[in-house]
Amino acid sequence: MKHYLYVLESQNDGSYYIGVSNNPKRRFREHQAGYSLSTKSRRPWRLAHIEEFDTIQQAYLRERYLKSLKKHNSIKKIIQGNNPN
């Protein structure tokens, strides 16, 4: 089973949310519907970036790395494809 890292961008305030799922389309719908407390107040969202991994461990490592950046511009560069990491 494939696992995916996804980055959502709030169309409300421009903030980002980074998550991991084995079904990113379903997870995106859940975020849009307000099922996640951490994203509910910043709806609507757009799916800004997605990466595929063979294992959930790889996806979580990538998630941890992206969350460690903590800079809006760093995340934006990754979304735009300007960062090889």
Q: In the chain, where are the structural domains located?
A: 3-80
What does the pLDDT average to over 10-18? 95
* Integer Cα distance of 42 and 63 in angstroms: 20
pLDDT, tens digit, for every residue of 37-77? 999 999 999 999 999 999 999 999 999 999 998 777 888 88
pLDDT exceeds 70 at position 14: yes
Instruction: Identify the pLDDT of residue 84.
Output: 47
User: Could you give the residue ranges of the DSSP H alpha helices within the chain?
Assistant: 24-33, 37-40, 56-69, 72-80
Instruction: Give the predicted TM-score (pTM) of the model.
Output: 0.90
Q: What is the domain class of 3-80 according to CATH?
A: alpha beta
